[in-house]
A and B are shown apart, each in its own frame.
Chain A
Amino acid sequence: MIYIWTSIIDTHMKKLSQKQSLLFPYHQAIKWLGLTVLLFAVAALAFKLIHRQWDSLKPVPELISLGLVFIFFSKEKMDDERIHQLKFRSLSLGFLYSYFLTFGFQYLFSRAATAHEFIATAMVFTTAIYYFAKSKV
């Protein structure tokens, strides 16, 4: 089983190294789907906060992380090596910041963040860092 998985990953990595345009898998249009999901999540969060439904905020991090994953991992109009480098750096910083934030949250409130909360936080940092770095030309 492990051999099958490693051979699949190996084949995919070979394809990636041959063609860099395969690095970010989603079509450009998926960004709009991500934006729609993200807006839905923000609207749901606002609705629940207005109606003081604190106990049922659970789907919000799931939707935020899904929306941001679609936005971040979609191809850009010009998907060149500078964009790939910026995305990689943003990911490495975003996940590190998220780790420290969720660690601090756990220490202060004695509640561990769920996997989706961690991913949502990481993707918020990652996407923000990426678009900030991209705009600094």
Chain B
Amino acid sequence: MKNLIKVERARNSITQAELAEKVDVSRQTINSIETGRFVPSAVLAFKIAKALNIKADELFELEEGD
């Protein structure tokens, strides 16, 4: 699953640590999601989208094979 977290973080000028604190996960988890090594649950995906002021389906996109 592709995501635009890095782009949206840059647009909102927040670091991985700040985003992690907002959604109550570790910075390593945000990093893993950004790099595509970990696919978050729907709840976490919605929380991240809300923290970045964007819709979840705009932030996350299914790839072929998902």
Contact = CB atoms under 8 A, between A and B. Distances in A.
Interface residues of B, number: 11
Contacts of A134: 28
A81 B28 CA distance: 12
Nearest to B33: A82
Interface of B: 24-26, 28-29, 31-32, 38, 40-41, 44
Interface of A: 77-78, 80-83, 85, 134, 137
What is the predominant secondary structure among interface residues of chain A facing chain B? helix
Contacts of B38: 82, 85
Given A80-B24, A137-B28, 9 more contacts: A78-B26, A80-B29, A81-B25, A81-B29, A82-B25, A82-B29, A83-B29, A137-B31, A137-B32
A85 B26 CA distance: 14
A82 B26 contact: yes
Of listed A77, A80, A134, residue having the most chain B CB within 10 A: A80
6 contacts: A78-B25, A80-B25, A80-B26, A82-B25, A83-B29, A137-B28
